[in-house]
């Protein structure tokens, strides 16, 4: 047993000796991080700089892209350092901060996707009342509440309930710090932690999932009873959001299974991939999904690209 006062750092045991291949992994990870930063930053600038995109859907997208940058920054620089390091340890304070960053990212992502579902529901089911229901003030309030709630709830859960735990071990079987993995190391009572998480899952998380399901049930009803033009409009605006939502749901499910159940029978590389999926695929896929599928964004990006080309010399 390790005395609670001696747990000043955690050992990340999921890392394994890759030899010279660690430089290849480093190049792959840093390339992914650069792509994520450039793609999300480009779309944020495009939305902010073009007044024609200052509509509810695009403002929610901007908040989503900011969150992708936030979550990626909480993970990728840490992974890059750990890949090159021979000793895979992390200080306890940094571990707690990383847990806060990654879980506030996940909660903000879910809230934003739920609000975007509600926004599409209003736009398709109540097109004439859309701009009176989704005002600039309401948009700002929803975005602010999303971030504020995610930071406050995770601050309470991480700094109020996880940080004070008395830990008897310091080995985390992950490549990054994880909420449930730290709670499992505790030798003190964790009933409050478990109750807090269960209450939040069965109230807030399920509430957001119900809102998403309700929104898309109403959208589908309008699509089936509407004209061909209505169906095409709904398909063009909802397809990227549905793809993003399904991708995030699969990633969150993989992370839940990976954290709660014994997965030692799976190859180590597969376990690492499953634990990283929800933190890497969303920031990578969302700019592609929305950038390629949203015609307004696609047209403006094409104009920007063309404006950068040197004019032909006669």
Domain boundary assignment for the chain: 4-299
Q: Taking Cα atoms as reference points, which of 143, 157, 176, 140 lies closest to residue 279? A: 176
pLDDT digits (tens, 9 = 90+) for 260-296: 777 777 788 888 888 888 889 999 999 888 876 666 6
pLDDT digits (tens, 9 = 90+) for 191-231: 888 888 888 888 888 899 999 999 988 888 887 776 777 67
Percent residues over pLDDT 90 in the chain: 34
Distance CA 229, CA 235 (A): 10
pLDDT of residue 294: 67
- Give the right CATH number for 4-299 from 1.20.1070.10, 1.10.490.130, 3.30.43.10, 2.60.40.10: 1.20.1070.10
What is the rounded average pLDDT of the residues 247-270?
A: 81
Q: How many residues does the chain have?
A: 314
On the question of pLDDT at 151 being above 80, the answer is yes
pLDDT of residue 293: 67
Distance CA 305, CA 122 (A): 33
Reduced to 3 states (helix: H, G, I; strand: E, B; else coil), residue 89 is strand
pLDDT of residue 52: 81
pLDDT of residue 314: 42
Distance CA 22, CA 18 (A): 5
Which residues, at least 6 apart from 134, have a Cβ–Cβ distance to it below 8 Å? 56, 119, 122, 123
With the C-alpha atoms ordered 238, 289, 295, 110, is the resulting torsion angle positive or negative? positive
For residue 119, CA distances in Å to 59, 123, 127, 150, 294 come to: 11, 6, 11, 20, 15
pLDDT of residue 103: 92
Average pLDDT along the chain = 85
Q: Is 120 in contact with 238 (CB distance < 8 Å)?
A: yes
DSSP state, residue 87: S
Q: Are strands 89-91 and 171-172 parallel, antiparallel or unpaired?
A: unpaired
End-to-end alpha carbon distance in the chain: 79
């Amino acid at each position: 047993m390790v005395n609670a006062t001696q747990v000043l750092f955690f050992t990340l045991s999921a890392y394994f000796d890759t030899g010279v291949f660690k430089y290849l992994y480093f190049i792959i990870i840093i390339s992914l991080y650069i792509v994520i930063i450039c793609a999300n930053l480009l779309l944020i600038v495009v939305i902010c700089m073009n007044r024609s995109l200052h509509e509810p859907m695009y403002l929610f997208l901007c908040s989503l892209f900011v969150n992708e940058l936030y979550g990626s920054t909480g993970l990728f620089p840490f992974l890059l350092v750990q890949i090159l390091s021979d000793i895979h340890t992390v200080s306890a304070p940094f571990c707690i901060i990383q847990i806060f960053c990654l879980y506030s990212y996940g909660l903000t992502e879910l809230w934003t996707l739920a609000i975007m579902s509600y926004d599409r529901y209003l736009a398709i089911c109540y097109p004439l009342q859309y701009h009176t229901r989704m005002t600039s003030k309401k948009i700002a309030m929803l975005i602010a509440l999303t971030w504020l709630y995610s930071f406050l709830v995770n601050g309470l859960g991480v700094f109020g309930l996880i940080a004070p735990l008395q830990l008897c071990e310091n080995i985390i079987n992950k490549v990054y710090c994880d909420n449930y993995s730290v709670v499992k190391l505790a030798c003190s009572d964790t009933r409050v932690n478990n109750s807090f998480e269960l209450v939040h899952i069965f109230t807030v998380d399920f509430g957001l999932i119900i809102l998403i399901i309700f929104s898309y049930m109403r959208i589908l009803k309008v699509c089936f009873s509407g004209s061909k033009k209505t169906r095409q409009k709904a398909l063009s605006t909802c397809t990227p959001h549905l793809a993003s939502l399904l991708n995030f749901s699969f990633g969150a499910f993989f992370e839940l299974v990976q954290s709660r159940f014994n997965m030692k029978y799976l190859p180590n590389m597969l376990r690492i991939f499953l634990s990283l999926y929800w933190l890497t695929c969303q920031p990578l896929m969302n700019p592609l999904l929305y950038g390629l599928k949203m015609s307004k964004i696609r047209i403006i990006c094409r104009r920007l690209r063309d404006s950068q080309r040197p004019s032909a010399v006669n």
